[in-house]
Chain A
Amino acid sequence: MINKIMTADEAVAGVKDGMTIMVGGFLGTGSPEVLMDALVRKGVKHLTVIGNDGGLAPGQPAGEFGAKTARGIGKLLENHMVDHIIASHIGVNPMINEQVAEGTLRYTLVPQGTLAEKIRAAAYGLGGILTPTGVATPMETEVDELGRTKKVMEIEGKKYLFEMPLHADYSFIRASVADKFGNYYCSKTTKNFNYVMAGAAKKTIIAPEKIVEINEIDPDLFAVAGVLVDAIVEGEKKWQI
């Protein structure tokens, strides 16, 4: 019988230099810390990372609730493991602009709602999506690495941008509660990108705060199907202030 439960180090064993990974989380909240720690231990380099933002640097957010360590993608940036970040916001974690200035990191900005839909398109087999977001902005005119600009389509008098799916090698997700098959849900604002990223990569790894037996809680409470999950990692903790 399939057993998806493994250590974080086992779950990231297949991650290689130069791969593309997706990481759930929004300014650190809902990011899979045990998986980031395992990637740091493995020491992979030249990653392309897809996420909402660059996580947090130590001490962020400013004020009494600041984190002692980096959070989420911040841990990968801190260890100079990222060559390219695809995100909607790069202004909070100062490591991004520092590494861009040093010439070791480049970024691609994608509007937040569009980022979610590009990821969802990859998970759900769509050839792309049409969105009104970004029309008449640099999103419409920017040229990608293959020299392409986006198609603009006019439908019933309204302009839309055609946005391609965003695929990856690995999706790293934080769940609040999962059963041993991988069915899971995320509490409150930890949902963020942790639902759309399931199944958008070749391998989906989840780090739940709590793992329960199959049918231990009402299966109707789960938001994401365990059939999308390849590995379940133990050890993720509730975030401590």
Chain B
Amino acid sequence: MADLKVRIAKRCAKEFNDGDFINLGIGLPTMVADYLPEDIMVTCHSENGFAGIDEIATAENLDVDIINSGGTYVTALPRAKFFDIAESFGLVRGGHVKATVLGAMEVAENGDLANWIVPGKKVAGMGGAMDLCAGCPEVIIVMLHTQKGAHKILKECSLPLTAEKCVSKIITEMGVMEVREDGIWVTELHPDFTWEEIQAATGCELHKDPNMKAMEEE
């Protein structure tokens, strides 16, 4: 399982270009930062108030005035810029944060995303997720393809949405999928899986991109 998550994080890290400004969610999305290529400059947004997250703080370099959006003490890059919440989400809604990388409970074939609430379960709240999904030009979902076999990529979401028609790409241990006007297209299939297997693990019809290739990890 841990290896599969590393596979997903490594593949997602290849999505970004020199100079990109992106937001990584908590959990598997945070792992993406560990695999960003060394030769490009990517700036990570912390929606509680800065651009330029560096690393988790240690007792030696801890500054009590710097946390990330999960409340963890972190350090800031020398080029970091701090701002308040209004400016932070202005950057998000304005489309200036190029991509947000998030997990999902459900993704629909039209790009609808549900990842913030399960009715009847303990409520945490959406935090900044709705703003990020409504505002970022690219919403990249990184997740295990199914929930212990239960489909997460569906014709329609059954859970309350985080945002509609927002997901641009889905990266799982099985492959890379793009959400297009006419459905979900597989652009990369991991060599461990067959077309039949990825289709069977998906709750809607998948389309095979004419240039579909093997999913690269490294």
Contact = CB atoms under 8 A, between A and B. Distances in A.
Interface of A: 26-30, 52-53, 56, 60-61, 64-65, 87-92, 97, 100, 107, 109, 111-117, 120, 131-139, 176, 186-196, 223, 238-241
B114 to A, nearest CB: 9
B191 interface: no
A136 B86 contact: no
Nearest to A114: B131
Interface in B57-76: 59, 62-67, 69-73, 76
Given A52-B85, A136-B163, A26 B124 contact: no
Interface string B92-135: 11000000000000000000100001000011111111110011
Given A137-B160, A240-B64, 14 more contacts: A26-B67, A88-B126, A89-B125, A89-B126, A89-B127, A90-B125, A114-B131, A131-B93, A133-B131, A188-B50, A189-B50, A191-B49, A223-B84, A241-B64
B123 A189 contact: no
B164 interface: yes
A113 B128 contact: yes
Main secondary structure, interface of B, reads: loop
Contacts of B122: 91, 97
Contact of A137 (B63, B66, B71, B130): B130
Nearest to A209: B65
Interface in B143-176: 160-164
Nearest to B123: A90
Contacts of A188: 49-50, 63, 65-66, 76, 82
20 contacts: A26-B48, A26-B69, A27-B48, A89-B127, A90-B123, A107-B123, A112-B126, A113-B93, A116-B89, A133-B93, A133-B134, A133-B135, A135-B134, A136-B164, A137-B164, A189-B65, A190-B65, A192-B85, A195-B86, A196-B86
Closest CB pairs A-B (n = 9) = A91-B124, A113-B89, A27-B71, A113-B131, A136-B164, A89-B125, A191-B84, A188-B65, A112-B128
A132 B134 contact: yes
B125 A65 contact: no
Contacts of B160: 137-138
B115 to A, nearest CB: 11
Given A26-B67, A116-B89, A137 B161 contact: yes
Interface of B: 46-50, 59, 62-67, 69-73, 76, 82-86, 88-90, 92-93, 112, 117, 122-131, 134-135, 160-164
B71 A109 contact: no
A56 B127 CA distance: 15
Given A52-B85, A87-B125, A29 B163 contact: no
B163 A135 contact: yes
A162 B53 CA distance: 33
Contacts of A92: 71, 124
B82 A189 contact: yes
A112 to B, nearest CB: 4
A26 B63 CA distance: 15
A135 B126 contact: no
